[in-house]
Structure 1
Amino acid sequence: MRVLFAAPTRLWDEWAPALQAACPEIELCRDGAPESFDALIYAPGYPEDGSTLDFSPFVNARLVQSLWAGVERIVTNETLTQPLCRMVDPGLAIGMTEYCLGWAMRAHLGMDSQLQDGVWRNELVPPLASERGITVLGMGELGRSVAGTLARLGFRVTGWSQSGRPVEGIEVLPGDRLGDALSRAEILICLLPDTAETRGLMNARTLSLLPEGATLINAGRGTLIDEGALIEALEAGRPGHAVLDVFQIEPLPADHPFWSHARVTVTSHIAADTRPTTAATVAAENLRRAMRDEPLLHRVDRARGY
């Protein structure tokens, strides 16, 4: 099986050994005649001259396997007619769960209120997890992992997705009940993909539906939030604090007001990463399925964008 590594050169040394170990039967190549390839392993930034990849010549490719969970930078490519699959990496889910759990617990326990200034604040006793409402926007692989972990710790967890598809152990509200989901969110965790429906979803109106003093954690996509509206909403206390890992422009410009805002914590898109050691096995399974004409894992629905 001949596979093109259609990804930036800097990724080769880390990914090639993992992919070849997981799927030794493949011939992994960095270039060659397009019609000679049975599949492509793809990551944004290819081609490296800044042009858009033309998938038309890859007439024999049965699969385009993305290395990233997000596919917004490829799904709109009109030359892409081959099956496209996003990456659902177990390591990515673990990393995202740990990030969201850490920041949620920091907010829940009020850690930042315990100033080391000599003042005894014995009255600042946090509630139990069962007394705290957390809402997770986006109930895909990552959202289910985060919501399930928080629920097992005893938090009152509400999930929200456009479809409202049921998730065992979690109450999931459908698209038309976004207001209800937000009103329960003493802690709001945003893990939505970048689609036409999610861009700007958190705006002046929806932010105002949060409980006073709520904490917003966005580790999904920066396009979800109207950044100007969020700054104004923080001044009004809804939310009371925002932990932001993703932004409309990345890297976040040094003069962006988020950096200096007292109610914003910026992390540099580090919530979770795709790890070759765990992701390569997912790619290998899809490569084998493609060659056997079997259903592919995590195939992208072009109409939905993910």
Structure 2
Amino acid sequence: MSVLYRSGAPRAAAWARFFKDNAPDIDFRTWPDAGELEEIEYLVSWAAPAAFIASLPNLKVLFSSGAGIDHIDLSAVPDHVQIVRMVEPGIINGMVEYVTLSVLALHRDFFDYVAMQPSGAWNPLEVPPASSRTVGVMGLGVLGQAVLQRLSTFGFRLSGWNRSPRNIAGVACHAGAHTLDQFLGRCDILICLLPLTDATKGILNARLFAALPRGASVINVGRGGHLDQAALLAALDSGHLSRAIVDVTDPEPLPPDHRFWTHPRVFVTPHVASMTQPDTAAPIMLANLRSHMRGDGLRDVVDRKRGY
């Protein structure tokens, strides 16, 4: 039984050290030193080519090295191979940090002060209480719930939208397409944390932006495929939306001449909101691996029909 890690090269050494120290009985390999491919039963990967997956005849489980699975061509993975999402404290904590920073920066007008600084403008803006703003989260999975829990400590009014019903203390939860406009109409700051599926692709579009209150802001930390970029720019240019924070784009990297880079009301980061941390992810993956080897099953298995 062999495990192959084929993901970010800088983290490969850390994963290899962890398995050497904590699971010396497991044959843990890192790409490109894969050895005989027919020996690989478990693959930890980000965006593994379809042809490579096809070259692993005895593959049993494909572990995504990130929280999403949109980088995986599900049609290229045999039906008998289980696909597992990465749910680990490092990813959760990183996302909570990034979204909290973004929400507070928007709430306290930090981007306005940054714009004023070059001209030396001393122009104090009104400081509204957090309780006067509604923050809405689209996607109430592990990440969405963790973000809402942290934001609750600041006193924001909180709202959430999800495909299926959720019940979260202190959060006005909405479920299903028929509730989307009601949810959006209350959001001063909208955060997209949805998984990227056929149903959610392009969901951040002109219709959605029009349903938000005038002056609302948008934070996209889901996937670039969620966002209609032209619609966002139009909503910002018209003044309907006030600001956007964009961590994920399509394509990635974002081309240097893209208008997002120079738009005064768009703040771009290069897909860094949250990253898998080897020191917290490797133990989670090892525990899951051991469970599967014992025949006890796997946690966080992807439902192929839902796409997450």
TM-score, length basis structure 1:
0.91
Residue 86 of structure 1 and its aligned partner are, at CA, apart by 0.8
SS at 1:249's partner residue? coil
Stretch moving more, 164-173 or 265-274: 164-173
Looking at structure 2, the residues matched to 138 and 22 of structure 1 have their Cα atoms a distance apart, in angstroms, of: 35
SS at 1:38's partner residue? strand
Q: Does residue 300 of structure 1 match 2:276? A: no
Q: Identity of aligned pairs, percent?
A: 39
Looking at structure 1, the residues matched to 210 and 225 of structure 2 have their Cα atoms a distance apart, in angstroms, of: 18
Contact 1:56–1:79 at 8 Å: present in 2 too? no
Q: Does residue 156 of structure 1 match 2:157? A: yes
Give the equivalent residue in structure 2 for 1:251.
253
Q: Does residue 95 of structure 1 match 2:94? A: yes
Residue 13 of structure 1 and its aligned partner are, at CA, apart by 2.0
Looking at structure 2, the residues matched to 7 and 258 of structure 1 have their Cα atoms a distance apart, in angstroms, of: 28
Residue 15 of structure 1 and its aligned partner are, at CA, apart by 2.4
Looking at structure 1, the residues matched to 6 and 78 of structure 2 have their Cα atoms a distance apart, in angstroms, of: 14
Relative to structure 1, the CA distance from residue 132 to residue 283 in structure 2 (aligned partners, 3 Å threshold; closer, same or farther) is same
Give the equivalent residue in structure 2 for 1:206.
208
Give the equivalent residue in structure 2 for 1:107.
106
Give the equivalent residue in structure 2 for 1:223.
225
2:45 aligns with one of 2, 20, 42: 42
Computed over aligned residues only, the root mean square deviation of the Cα atoms, in angstroms, reads 2.0
Give the equivalent residue in structure 2 for 1:263.
265
- Alignment deviations for residues 42-76 of structure 1 (CA, whole Å, 9 cap, x no partner): 222x45xxx632347433x4322111111112252
Select the structure with the greater relative contact order (CA < 8 A; seq sep ≥ 6). Answer: 1
Q: Does residue 77 of structure 1 match 2:75? A: yes
Q: Unaligned stretches of 5+ in structure 2?
A: none
SS at 1:144's partner residue? helix
SS at 1:188's partner residue? strand
Relative to structure 1, the CA distance from residue 259 to residue 63 in structure 2 (aligned partners, 3 Å threshold; closer, same or farther) is same
2:190 aligns with one of 188, 191, 210: 188
Contact 2:196–2:223 at 8 Å: present in 1 too? yes
SS at 2:215's partner residue? coil
Looking at structure 1, the residues matched to 276 and 6 of structure 2 have their Cα atoms a distance apart, in angstroms, of: 16
Contact 1:22–1:280 at 8 Å: present in 2 too? no
Looking at structure 2, the residues matched to 293 and 55 of structure 1 have their Cα atoms a distance apart, in angstroms, of: 25
Relative to structure 1, the CA distance from residue 18 to residue 263 in structure 2 (aligned partners, 3 Å threshold; closer, same or farther) is same
Structure number with the higher helix fraction is 2
SS at 1:84's partner residue? strand
Looking at structure 1, the residues matched to 121 and 264 of structure 2 have their Cα atoms a distance apart, in angstroms, of: 21
Relative to structure 1, the CA distance from residue 214 to residue 303 in structure 2 (aligned partners, 3 Å threshold; closer, same or farther) is same
Contact 1:148–1:170 at 8 Å: present in 2 too? no
Looking at structure 1, the residues matched to 257 and 123 of structure 2 have their Cα atoms a distance apart, in angstroms, of: 35
Give the equivalent residue in structure 2 for 1:5.
5
Relative to structure 1, the CA distance from residue 13 to residue 119 in structure 2 (aligned partners, 3 Å threshold; closer, same or farther) is closer
Residue 193 of structure 1 and its aligned partner are, at CA, apart by 1.5
Give the equivalent residue in structure 2 for 1:32.
35
AA partner of residue 17 (structure 1)? R
- Alignment deviations for residues 185-219 of structure 1 (CA, whole Å, 9 cap, x no partner): 10111111111011110111111111111111111
Looking at structure 2, the residues matched to 119 and 9 of structure 1 have their Cα atoms a distance apart, in angstroms, of: 46
Contact 2:130–2:156 at 8 Å: present in 1 too? yes
Q: Unaligned stretches of 5+ in structure 1?
A: none
TM-score, length basis structure 2:
0.90
SS at 1:157's partner residue? strand
SS at 1:100's partner residue? helix
AA partner of residue 92 (structure 1)? I
SS at 2:182's partner residue? helix
Stretch moving more, 18-27 or 264-273: 18-27
SS at 1:291's partner residue? helix
Stretch moving more, 66-75 or 179-188: 66-75
